[in-house]
Amino acid sequence: MKQGDFYRKENCRLCDSSTLEKSLVLTPTPPGNNFLKEIQEGFKEKEYPLELYFCCECFHIQLGHVVDPSFLFQNNYSYVSSTSSVFVKHLEDYSKYVIDKFDLRKDSLIVDIGSNDGTCLSFFKESGMRVLGVDPAKEVCDIAIDNGIDTLNDFFTANLANEIENKYGQASLITSHNACAHIDDLSSVIKGVESLLHETGVFIMEVGYFVDVFENKWFDTIYHEHLDFHTVAPLEKMFEKNNMELIRVERVSPQGGSIRVFSQKKNGVHHKDSTVQELIDLESQIGLDSSKTLKNFEKNINIVKDDFKTIIRDIKSDGATVAAFGAATKATTLMYHFQLDKEDIEFIVDDNPLKQNVFSPGKHIPVVSSEKIYEQMPDYIVILAWNFAESIMQQHKKYLELGGSFILPMPEPVVVDSLK
């Protein structure tokens, strides 16, 4: 159902079933990564629904409304992989692991879907491999190209896969990090992967794992760029439908609870191990084959919301000043659902230069560099980028030593006055 610049998804993204049931509703928000360089008085961005739907046929969990992807990714997209030292190390370790595990040769073609600034591909290139990135966000593509990583500024489709194969040949490895959850028609992408992949090749995608979201109440990972909230059972069915098969699944934690999904062409050369079925069994035990579980999840989220608001209300009533750390996309979801405004959060700090000297989506809270912490010395800092909380607190031990305190909003709100 088209509604201007967004539409309501009527069928499941993975199995095409029309048996979708609304199961979780969060506060509507503007696109979470649409930071503003300037704001005009009275200006208010458009807010879009944030609702999860459960497929009663294949059990896939998905966002019900799709915002125009050209608006989300091709304008002002400011996430840059290389600004997170934790994620850079994760990608470096990943490249070494994959090269060794699959004995990739130096002339192998490696294609990265959603390649961002080329950080992942840079490690494969250092190992002597041919690399090609694909990403719809122009700014980060330009960074990658400037750094010597061949990159196509486009969405990955079956047609583009054919063009790549004609020019570069088939790929020994196709990889994707936290991009496949952003794709409305994932089956079309998998069709392209299947055609581009060499007979002995492997497709490895990392996506957020809804088991971790559910168990840790990480509701703020629900935002408009994230259309899918993956579990293994629906993925296995979707890959089979597209002439591919899952061979291994690993739980990893670079972005706060993810799975690394290994697949190959159907009846490929690589052995399928027990990890696939083990996680499918876990999902069933937790109850992620029922929409009732999601409805209970919403109740638990609102308990966390009430606890967090109590902490903020108490410290503000004492006259304390509060800032935040991490202008992550997920921060928009949290601030809207927790009803945080400029009166609650004075400023947000971020280490990404593209997210400095801008204003947060909807709330219009100024985003600045972390130097501001020591210039202003707020009494409390809410860590919005909670998946990097340990790294942030280690980097800013000085702030704690000077008498400041961090607030971690999830899975249960807690105030941190010192590091052990």
268/348 same-domain check: no
286/317 same-domain check: no
191/121 same-domain check: yes
Give strand pairing partners of 262: 204, 248
What pLDDT sits at residue 345? 96
The domain total for the chain is: 2
Which strands form 380-383's sheet, in the order they lie side by side? 358-359, 366-368, 348-349, 322-325, 380-383, 405-408, 414-416
251/318 same-domain check: no
Q: How many angstroms separate the CA atoms of 317 and 298, rounded?
A: 28
Query: Where in the sequence is the domain holding 282, given as residue range(s)?
Result: 1-306
Q: Reply yes or no on whether the pLDDT at 329 is more than 50.
A: yes
Measure CA of the first residue to CA of the last residue in the chain; give whole Å: 53
Q: What CATH code is carried by the domain that includes residue 391? A: 3.40.50.720
User: Where does a domain end: 249, 284, 306?
Assistant: 306
93/199 same-domain check: yes
- Furthest C-alpha separation in the chain: 66
320/395 same-domain check: yes
Strand ranges in 136-196 using DSSP code E only, listed in sequence order: 151-153, 171-177
SS3 124: helix
Q: Reply yes or no on whether the pLDDT at 209 is more than 90.
A: yes
What pLDDT sits at residue 87? 79
Q: Reply yes or no on whether the pLDDT at 110 is more than 90.
A: yes
The predicted model gives 128-149 an average pLDDT of: 93
Q: Reply yes or no on whether the pLDDT at 161 is more than 70.
A: yes
**Is 177 within 8 Å of 133 (Cβ atoms)?**
no
Q: What is the DSSP string of 30-84?
A: S-TT--BS---TT-----EEEEEEEETTT--EEESEEE-HHHHHSSS----GGG-
13/148 same-domain check: yes
Range of weakest confidence among 168-172, 220-224, 354-358? 354-358
266/118 same-domain check: yes
340/203 same-domain check: no
For the record, the structure tokens of 204 come out as: 């490895």
The predicted model gives 179-185 an average pLDDT of: 86
Q: What CATH code is carried by the domain that includes residue 96? A: 3.40.50.150
User: Which comes out higher in pLDDT, residue 86 or 10?
Assistant: 10
Residue 381: closest CA among 342, 346, 336:
346
User: Where does a domain end: 248, 277, 306?
Assistant: 306
Residue 80: which pLDDT band, with cuts at 50, 70 and 90?
low
User: Where does a domain end: 272, 288, 306?
Assistant: 306
99/194 same-domain check: yes
266/365 same-domain check: no
270/250 same-domain check: yes
SS3 322: strand
Report the chain's mean pLDDT, rounded to a whole number: 92
